[in-house]
């Protein structure tokens, strides 16, 4: 056991509890996706149910590998890389909107040649914006109230990225905007300035929705959620059935029946399948894991000696957990249908890689770098976030 323990301590650095949570999520994901893809395999793979099991398991290992790579890099390097990633994201988002692959009336995907794997540029844009926002706020902690030098570039980048994403993906843009607001709050941006940011976001978001592809979809989903005289949408009705028939302990692994009826049971409504097969106990356990993930992410913020590390960890943790809460809320009827997958659990492609990179960056911050030596070209990141602000 000692050689194994030594190897783990040498190669898996950072918060060990966070590592355990991610590995547990991966095991749950493999089991649930294997169960939820039965109908899809029957239709597309002539009943070869192991196809999606092997593919999804392989992608999870790829995501874990990228997470391991990201956690080995000194997180201060991401301050520099984030700007380059943003500059790449803007033309990619525009290119995807005009000529990208269209699914369900939205152009969100680009197909990578040779490997024939789809990728959403919005995944790169989210990671880049959160990282660069953390960098900008950390550089200017002593001048955070200065509009021209601090808040103007922050607002410009948030407006550009969220405005481009909302053209084809309203829910992702809104969640990213909410994450940016949380990050600004933690970064001690005054409430008045944040109110200006909200007003700008409302204008840019309205323009983006009206000129983009999702306005009618957003309207219909909000109307279906708020107008109780309308029948419950098909997918939500069967999500309710899955949850109701799951009971306390569930039907058992692989015993879901609603997976054969629910649209995208392996992605958008995987939480309903989890409750059907593992009951409310299983659903509560998954919720607990996400809350534990958030807690460990915020604990990293409190232990960070540099503003950039704390803001970076907080932004990425909030981004993942907010999306998870929205997905689970939709499955139980607490919000309008969004089409967002459940992070760390839903079947995905390159999104698993970007999720792995995000968690790897959080682990990199949690390694406890004390930033005792400045890096050429890096921000003067010596201002520690006050304890009260880190809790905010």
How does the average pLDDT of the chain come out, rounded? 83
Residue 283 clears pLDDT 90, i.e. is over it = yes
In a domain, 235, yes or no: yes
Q: What is the mean pLDDT of residues 305-332?
A: 90
DSSP 8-state assignment for residue 106:
E
Task: Give the integer Cα–Cα distance in Å for 141 and 138.
Answer: 5
The overall pTM is greater than 0.75: yes
| pLDDT range class, residue 113, cuts 50, 70, 90 | low
In a domain, 30, yes or no: yes
Angle formed at CA 199 by CA 198 and CA 205, multiple of 5 degrees: 85
Which pLDDT does position 42 carry in this prediction?
77
In a domain, 237, yes or no: yes
Q: Provide the number of structural domains found in the chain.
A: 1
Task: Give the integer Cα–Cα distance in Å for 335 and 268.
Answer: 13
| pLDDT range class, residue 373, cuts 50, 70, 90 | very low
In a domain, 66, yes or no: yes
| pLDDT range class, residue 137, cuts 50, 70, 90 | confident
Return contacts of 43-52, CB within 8 angstroms, 24+ apart. Answer: 52/266, 52/347
DSSP 8-state assignment for residue 37:
T
Which pLDDT does position 205 carry in this prediction?
87
Highest mean pLDDT (candidates 116-130, 259-273, 357-371): 259-273
Percent of the chain scoring above 70 in pLDDT: 85
In a domain, 38, yes or no: yes
Domain carrying residue 303: 14-221+230-372
In a domain, 321, yes or no: yes
Q: What is the pLDDT of residues 204-225, one digit of tens each?
A: 888 888 887 778 888 888 888 8
**Higher per-residue pLDDT: 135 or 112:** 135
In a domain, 352, yes or no: yes
In a domain, 322, yes or no: yes
């Amino acid at each position: 056991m000692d050689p194994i323990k030594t190897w783990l301590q040498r190669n898996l650095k950072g918060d060990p509890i966070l590592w355990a949570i991610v590995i547990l999520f991966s095991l749950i994901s493999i089991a649930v996706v294997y169960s939820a893809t039965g109908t899809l395999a029957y239709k597309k793979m002539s009943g070869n149910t192991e196809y999606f099991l092997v593919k999804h398991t392989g992608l999870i290992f790829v995501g874990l590998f990228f997470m391991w790579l990201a956690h080995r890099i000194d997180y201060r390097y991401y301050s520099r890389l984030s700007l380059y990633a943003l500059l790449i994201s803007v033309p990619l988002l525009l290119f995807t909107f005009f000529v990208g692959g269209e699914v369900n009336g939205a152009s969100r995907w680009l197909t990578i040649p040779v490997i024939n794997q789809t990728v959403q540029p919005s995944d790169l844009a989210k990671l880049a914006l959160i990282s660069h926002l953390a960098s900008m706020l950390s550089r200017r902690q002593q001048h955070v109230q200065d509009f021209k030098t601090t808040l103007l570039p922050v607002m410009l980048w948030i407006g550009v990225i969220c405005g481009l994403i909302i053209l084809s993906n309203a829910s992702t843009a809104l969640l990213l905007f909410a994450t940016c607001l949380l990050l600004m709050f933690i970064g001690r941006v005054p409430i008045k300035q944040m109110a200006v940011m909200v007003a700008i976001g409302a204008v840019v978001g309205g323009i983006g929705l009206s000129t983009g592809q999702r306005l009618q979809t957003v309207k219909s989903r909000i109307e279906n959620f708020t107008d109780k005289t309308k029948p419950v949408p098909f997918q939500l009705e069967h999500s309710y059935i899955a949850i109701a028939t799951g009971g306390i302990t569930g039907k058992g692994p692989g015993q879901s029946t609603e997976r054969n009826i629910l649209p995208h049971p392996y992605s958008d409504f995987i939480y309903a399948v989890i409750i059907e097969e593992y009951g409310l106990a299983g659903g509560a356990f998954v919720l607990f894991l996400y809350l534990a993930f958030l807690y460990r992410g915020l604990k990293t913020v409190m232990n960070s000696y540099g503003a950039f590390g704390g803001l970076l960890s907080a932004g990425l943790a909030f981004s993942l957990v907010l999306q998870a809460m929205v997905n689970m809320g939709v499955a139980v009827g607490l919000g309008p249908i969004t089409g967002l997958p459940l992070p760390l659990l839903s079947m995905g492609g390159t999104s698993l890689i970007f999720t792995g990179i995000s968690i790897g960056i959080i682990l990199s911050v949690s390694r406890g770098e004390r930033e005792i030596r400045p890096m050429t070209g890096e921000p003067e990141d010596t201002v520690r976030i006050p304890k009260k602000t880190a809790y905010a």
